[in-house]
Amino acid sequence: MQNSSLSALAQPDAASAIEDFVQTYAAHPVYIPPRGPRLHAKNWPAEAALRMFLNNLSNDVAEKPEELVVYGGIGQAARTPQDARKIVELLLTLEEDESLLIQSGKPVGKIRSHAEAPRVLIANSNLVPRWSTWEHFNQLRERGLMMYGQMTAGSWIYIGTQGILQGTYETFAACGRRHYNGDLRHKLVVSGGLGGMGGAQPLAATMAGATFLGVDIDPERIKKRVETGYLDHISYDYHHAMRLVLAARHKGEAVSIGLVGNIGDVLEKLLEDEIIPDILTDQTSAHDPINGYVPHGLTLEEALALRQSDPQEYKARSLQSMARHVGYMLEMQRRGSCTFDYGNNLREYAQQGGEANAFQIPGFVPEYIRPLFCEGKGPFRWVALSGDPEDIKVTDEALKQLFPENTHMIGWLNEASLKVSFQGLPSRICWLGMGEREKAGLLFNQLVREGKVKAPLVIGRDHLDCGSVASPYRETEGMKDGSDAVSDWPLLNLMANASGGATWISFHHGGGVGMGFSQHAGMVIVADGSERADRCLRRVLHNDPALGIFRHADAGYETAQQNAVKHGLTI
**Annotated binding residue 169:** no
DSSP state of 368: I
Q: Is 221 annotated as a binding residue?
A: yes
Q: Any known ligand binding at 512?
A: yes
Do 303 and 314 contact (CB within 8 A), yes or no?
Answer: yes
Greatest alpha-carbon span in the chain: 72
* 134 phi, psi to nearest 5 deg: -60, -35
Residue 239 CB partners (closer than 8 Å, separation 6+):
none
Pairing assessment for the beta strands 504-509 and 519-527 based on DSSP bridges: antiparallel
Report the DSSP pairing between strands 30-31 and 233-235: unpaired
Residues 506, 472, 130, CA angle at the centre, nearest 5°? 70
Cα 493 from Cα 468, distance rounded (Å): 6
150 is in an annotated binding site: yes
Any known ligand binding at 510? no
Q: List C-alpha distances in Å: 219 to 209, 282, 372.
A: 25, 17, 35
Annotated ligand binding at 25? The verdict is no
Does the annotation flag 283 for ligand binding?
yes
Is 294 annotated for ligand binding? yes
198 is in an annotated binding site: yes
Q: Is 309 annotated as a binding residue?
A: no
Verify whether residue 338 is a known catalytic residue: no
CA 79 to chain centre: 19
* Paired sense of beta strands 106-112 and 98-103, if any: antiparallel
d(CA 353, CA 367): 25
| Cβ–Cβ < 8 Å for 125, 519 | no
Nearest to 513 by CA among 381, 342, 365, 366: 342
Q: With 0-12 CB in 10 A as exposed, 13-18 as middle and 19+ as buried, what is 8?
A: buried
DSSP 517: S
Compute how many other C-beta atoms are within 10 angstroms of the C-beta atom of residue 189: 28
Any binding-site annotation on 197? yes
Q: Are 537 and 441 in contact (CB under 8 A)?
A: yes
**Cα distance between residue 151 and residue 177, in whole Å:** 29
| Residue-wise burial string across 236-263, b where 16 or more C-beta atoms lie within 10 A, e elsewhere | eebeebbebbeebbeeebbbbbbbbbbb
In eight-state DSSP terms, residue 161 is: B
515 is in an annotated binding site: no
Q: Is 342 a known ligand-binding residue?
A: yes
Cα of 213 vs its chain's centroid, Å: 22
Annotation-wise, does 287 bind a ligand?
A: yes
Show Cβ contacts of residue 310 under 8 Å, excluding neighbours closer than 6 positions. Answer: none
**Catalytic residue chosen out of the listed positions 175, 430, 466, 536:** 430
Q: Is 144 annotated as a binding residue?
A: no
Residues at the annotated binding site for NAD(+)?
Answer: 72-73, 150, 196-198, 216, 221, 283-287, 293-294, 342, 512
Residues with a catalytic annotation lie at 430
Residues at the annotated binding site?
Answer: 72-73, 150, 196-198, 216, 221, 283-287, 293-294, 342, 512
